[in-house]
Protein backbone atom coordinates (compact mmCIF):
# COMPACT_ATOMS: atom_id res chain seq x y z
CA UNK A 1 0.00 0.00 0.00
CA UNK A 2 1.34 3.45 -0.89
CA UNK A 3 1.05 6.61 1.10
CA UNK A 4 1.57 10.23 0.12
CA UNK A 5 4.48 12.12 1.60
CA UNK A 6 4.35 15.93 1.63
CA UNK A 7 7.07 18.46 2.31
CA UNK A 8 6.64 22.21 2.60
CA UNK A 9 9.66 24.34 1.82
CA UNK A 10 10.04 27.97 2.79
CA UNK A 11 11.75 29.79 -0.06
CA UNK A 12 13.92 32.81 0.62
CA UNK A 13 15.83 33.01 -2.67
CA UNK A 14 14.47 33.16 -6.22
CA UNK A 15 13.43 29.75 -7.52
CA UNK A 16 15.68 28.04 -10.04
CA UNK A 17 14.59 25.33 -12.43
CA UNK A 18 17.38 23.06 -11.15
CA UNK A 19 15.57 22.85 -7.81
CA UNK A 20 12.44 21.58 -9.56
CA UNK A 21 14.38 19.18 -11.75
CA UNK A 22 16.21 17.63 -8.81
CA UNK A 23 13.01 17.14 -6.81
CA UNK A 24 11.26 15.65 -9.87
CA UNK A 25 14.09 13.12 -10.27
CA UNK A 26 13.50 12.11 -6.65
CA UNK A 27 9.82 11.38 -7.43
CA UNK A 28 8.30 14.61 -6.14
CA UNK A 29 5.58 16.39 -8.09
CA UNK A 30 4.57 20.00 -7.69
CA UNK A 31 1.07 20.30 -6.16
CA UNK A 32 0.84 23.93 -5.03
CA UNK A 33 2.55 27.28 -5.04
CA UNK A 34 1.81 29.93 -2.45
CA UNK A 35 2.70 33.58 -2.95
CA UNK A 36 2.78 36.39 -0.42
CA UNK A 37 3.79 40.04 -0.34
CA UNK A 38 3.54 42.92 2.07
CA UNK A 39 1.07 45.69 1.26
CA UNK A 40 -0.16 48.69 3.17
CA UNK A 41 -3.39 47.91 4.99
CA UNK A 42 -6.29 50.34 4.78
CA UNK A 43 -7.91 51.72 7.93
CA UNK A 44 -11.01 49.55 7.31
CA UNK A 45 -8.90 46.41 6.99
CA UNK A 46 -7.02 47.19 10.19
CA UNK A 47 -10.18 47.87 12.18
CA UNK A 48 -11.77 44.63 10.89
CA UNK A 49 -8.87 42.71 12.45
CA UNK A 50 -9.05 44.51 15.80
CA UNK A 51 -10.99 42.54 18.42
CA UNK A 52 -14.24 44.15 19.56
CA UNK A 53 -13.61 46.27 22.65
CA UNK A 54 -10.20 47.42 21.46
CA UNK A 55 -8.93 50.03 19.00
CA UNK A 56 -5.64 51.09 17.46
CA UNK A 57 -4.07 53.99 19.34
CA UNK A 58 -3.16 56.60 16.71
CA UNK A 59 0.05 57.71 18.37
CA UNK A 60 1.54 54.26 19.04
CA UNK A 61 -0.30 51.99 16.57
CA UNK A 62 -0.87 49.58 19.47
CA UNK A 63 -4.13 48.20 20.72
CA UNK A 64 -5.87 50.03 23.53
CA UNK A 65 -9.26 49.72 25.19
CA UNK A 66 -12.19 51.24 23.30
CA UNK A 67 -14.45 52.60 26.08
CA UNK A 68 -17.61 52.66 23.94
CA UNK A 69 -17.18 49.05 22.80
CA UNK A 70 -16.19 47.91 26.29
CA UNK A 71 -19.49 49.34 27.54
CA UNK A 72 -21.33 47.33 24.89
CA UNK A 73 -19.50 44.18 26.03
CA UNK A 74 -20.57 44.88 29.62
CA UNK A 75 -24.18 45.48 28.52
CA UNK A 76 -24.20 42.26 26.49
CA UNK A 77 -22.73 40.31 29.40
CA UNK A 78 -25.36 41.74 31.74
CA UNK A 79 -28.18 40.75 29.39
CA UNK A 80 -26.76 37.27 28.81
CA UNK A 81 -26.52 36.69 32.57
CA UNK A 82 -30.23 37.53 32.75
CA UNK A 83 -30.77 34.62 30.35
CA UNK A 84 -32.65 36.47 27.64
CA UNK A 85 -32.96 35.20 24.09
CA UNK A 86 -30.65 36.62 21.44
CA UNK A 87 -33.62 38.49 19.95
CA UNK A 88 -34.45 40.01 23.35
CA UNK A 89 -30.80 40.98 23.93
CA UNK A 90 -30.59 42.60 20.47
CA UNK A 91 -33.82 44.55 21.06
CA UNK A 92 -32.69 45.69 24.50
CA UNK A 93 -29.21 46.75 23.41
CA UNK A 94 -30.75 48.69 20.50
CA UNK A 95 -33.25 50.37 22.86
CA UNK A 96 -30.31 51.47 25.01
CA UNK A 97 -28.92 53.25 21.96
CA UNK A 98 -25.97 50.99 21.19
CA UNK A 99 -24.95 50.09 17.64
CA UNK A 100 -22.50 47.64 16.13
CA UNK A 101 -19.02 48.74 15.08
CA UNK A 102 -20.43 49.33 11.59
CA UNK A 103 -23.20 51.56 12.98
CA UNK A 104 -25.98 49.04 12.35
CA UNK A 105 -28.65 47.88 14.79
CA UNK A 106 -27.89 44.72 16.72
CA UNK A 107 -29.59 41.54 15.50
CA UNK A 108 -29.89 38.12 17.14
CA UNK A 109 -27.10 36.96 14.80
CA UNK A 110 -24.76 39.85 15.64
CA UNK A 111 -25.32 39.15 19.36
CA UNK A 112 -24.58 35.46 18.79
CA UNK A 113 -21.41 36.35 16.86
CA UNK A 114 -20.17 38.29 19.90
CA UNK A 115 -20.18 35.17 22.11
CA UNK A 116 -16.59 34.11 21.31
CA UNK A 117 -15.36 37.62 22.16
CA UNK A 118 -17.38 37.66 25.38
CA UNK A 119 -15.90 34.30 26.35
CA UNK A 120 -12.45 35.71 25.64
CA UNK A 121 -12.85 38.89 27.71
CA UNK A 122 -15.40 37.50 30.18
CA UNK A 123 -12.99 36.80 33.04
CA UNK A 124 -11.55 40.31 32.76
CA UNK A 125 -15.01 41.89 32.63
CA UNK A 126 -16.35 39.85 35.54
CA UNK A 127 -13.44 40.95 37.75
CA UNK A 128 -13.82 44.64 36.93
CA UNK A 129 -15.16 47.18 39.41
CA UNK A 130 -17.84 48.15 36.87
CA UNK A 131 -19.18 44.59 36.83
CA UNK A 132 -19.23 44.38 40.62
CA UNK A 133 -21.46 47.50 40.74
CA UNK A 134 -23.75 46.20 37.98
CA UNK A 135 -24.05 42.76 39.55
CA UNK A 136 -25.87 44.24 42.52
CA UNK A 137 -28.60 45.56 40.21
CA UNK A 138 -29.11 42.46 38.06
CA UNK A 139 -32.42 40.79 38.91
CA UNK A 140 -31.99 37.36 40.50
CA UNK A 141 -33.27 34.41 38.44
CA UNK A 142 -35.51 31.90 40.24
Domain ranges for the chain: 66-135
| DSSP secondary structure of 56-104 | E-TTT--EEE-HHHHHHHHHHHHHHHTT--HHHHHHHHHHTT---TTSP
pLDDT number for residue 12: 75
- 3 has pLDDT over 60: yes
pLDDT band at 124 (very low <50, low <70, confident <90, very high): confident
pLDDT number for residue 83: 82
More confident residue, 14 or 136: 14
pTM assigned to the model: 0.59
Mean pLDDT of 35-50: 73
Amino acid sequence: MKRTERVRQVVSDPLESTNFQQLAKEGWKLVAIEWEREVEATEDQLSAEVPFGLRIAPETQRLEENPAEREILLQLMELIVQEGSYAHIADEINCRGFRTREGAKWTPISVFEMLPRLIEVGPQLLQSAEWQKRRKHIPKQD
